[in-house]
């Protein structure tokens, strides 16, 4: 699955909030089962940005070693990311990832081994425009900056001029928001330069009602997706195909879009850099993603190499 290419660094102390009702803690390293016993969790579900990836968008040698440790114990690794498949492919290739991945906040099921999408949900254009209009009305007429992710397989990120100050070469730029609706899309992203993300997210959720799903995955990016799409739905779809249940799963994340995933999993881990909303529902808070928090937990769960 992944190659172990360095000796792990020493553990960082983990901060433990109150476990969720009904959750069961996994054993300490001294109580771990022997090699002939099944692993405490058979599925390791991880977000990418802010979780598995460091700030420089790399996966550390220690984390690779910890994933390989889980693999040898009989566990499978499943990436569950907000990035569309086209955007996360390079990161999966870099770590030698094989098998299914959940992309696009649960809107896509991607077969990394065959480099093909097995499932992809689209967002109705007229509905997307209506939700944007109603969200701005909820915000007192304050205009939003917008972006869209175009439909698969292209999944191109296209933005209005003031959406970001850091334009990337692979992004598309439109002169007016009307150009955003020129082709099929999978999601809309909203931001406001002055208003806090929480207020924009609340307005979008109120404006969208049960017609869309609204989530917050990154600072300055409120996402509007097809109704019923979230990471729990995507994780559940992939886990069923792989033969795993929630109680088999340990999940790692850092932002509010990971809340459904952590609630679905048998055990949920928030990173030390996580949003307070995610920490509130987690069973455990691991070290920061730049301090190899995923590795620190996996080493304890599956035994140090």
d(CA 132, CA 82): 20
pLDDT value for 31: 43
pTM (predicted TM-score):
0.84
d(CA 280, CA 257): 13
Query: Where residue 159 sits, what CATH number does that domain have?
Result: 3.30.1240.10
Residue 35 or residue 173, greater confidence: 173
**Three-state DSSP class for 104?**
helix
pLDDT value for 4: 29
114 and 79, same domain (yes or no): yes
Residue 14 or residue 287, greater confidence: 287
pLDDT value for 40: 87
pLDDT value for 30: 36
- How many domains in the chain? 2
Query: Where residue 105 sits, what CATH number does that domain have?
Result: 3.40.50.1000
pLDDT value for 220: 83
d(CA 119, CA 189): 21
170 and 195, same domain (yes or no): yes
Q: What is the extent of the structural domain holding 98? A: 43-121+230-302
pLDDT value for 103: 96
Please say which residue of 226, 243, 261 terminates a domain. Answer: 226
pLDDT value for 35: 42
115 and 163, same domain (yes or no): no
Distances (CA, A) of 234 to 107, 112, 250, 252, 259: 7, 15, 15, 15, 13
236 and 115, same domain (yes or no): yes
143 and 217, same domain (yes or no): yes
Would you say residue 11 lies in a domain?
Answer: no
Distances (CA, A) of 193 to 98, 136, 143, 200, 234: 39, 13, 10, 11, 31
181 and 270, same domain (yes or no): no
Mean pLDDT of 261-266: 98
Asked whether 277 and 263 are in contact (CB, 8 A), the reply is no
Would you say residue 106 lies in a domain?
Answer: yes
114 and 135, same domain (yes or no): no
238 and 93, same domain (yes or no): yes
Would you say residue 191 lies in a domain?
Answer: yes
Pairing of the two strands 157-159 and 172-173? parallel
Would you say residue 14 lies in a domain?
Answer: no
237 and 217, same domain (yes or no): no
134 and 115, same domain (yes or no): no
Comparing 42-46, 77-81, 170-174, 223-227, the range with the smallest average pLDDT is: 170-174
Comparing 15-19, 123-127, 140-144, 293-297, the range with the smallest average pLDDT is: 15-19
Would you say residue 108 lies in a domain?
Answer: yes
């Amino acid at each position: 699955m992944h190659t172990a290419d360095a000796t792990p660094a020493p553990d960082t102390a983990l901060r433990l909030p109150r476990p969720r009702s009904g959750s069961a803690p996994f054993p300490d390293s001294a109580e771990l089962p022997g090699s002939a016993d099944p692993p405490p969790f058979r599925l390791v579900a991880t977000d990418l940005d802010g979780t598995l990836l460091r700030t420089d968008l790399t996966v550390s040698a220690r984390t690779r070693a910890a994933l390989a440790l889980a693999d040898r114990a009989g566990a499978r690794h499943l990436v569950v990311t907000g990035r569309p498949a086209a955007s996360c492919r390079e990161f999966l290739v870099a770590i030698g990832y094989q098998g299914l991945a959940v992309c696009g906040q649960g809107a896509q099921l991607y077969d990394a081994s065959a480099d093909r999408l097995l499932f992809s949900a689209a967002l109705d254009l007229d509905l997307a425009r209506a939700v944007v209009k109603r969200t701005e009305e909820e915000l007192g007429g304050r205009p939003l900056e917008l972006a869209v992710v175009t439909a698969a397989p292209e999944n191109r990120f296209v933005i209005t001029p003031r959406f970001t100050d850091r334009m990337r070469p692979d992004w598309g730029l439109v002169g007016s928001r009307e150009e955003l609706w020129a082709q099929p899309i999978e999601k809309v992203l909203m931001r406001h330069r002055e208003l806090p993300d929480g207020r924009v997210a609340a307005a979008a959720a109120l404006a969208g009602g049960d017609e869309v799903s609204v989530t917050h995955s990154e600072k300055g990016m409120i996402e509007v997706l097809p109704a019923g799409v979230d990471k729990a739905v995507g994780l559940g779809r992939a886990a069923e195909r792989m033969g795993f249940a929630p109680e088999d799963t340990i999940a790692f994340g850092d932002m509010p879009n990971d809340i459904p995933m952590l609630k679905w999993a048998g055990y949920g881990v928030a990173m030390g850099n996580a949003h307070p909303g995610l920490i509130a529902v987690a069973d455990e808070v691991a070290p920061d993603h730049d301090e190899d928090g995923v590795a620190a937990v996996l080493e304890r769960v599956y035994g140090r190499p």
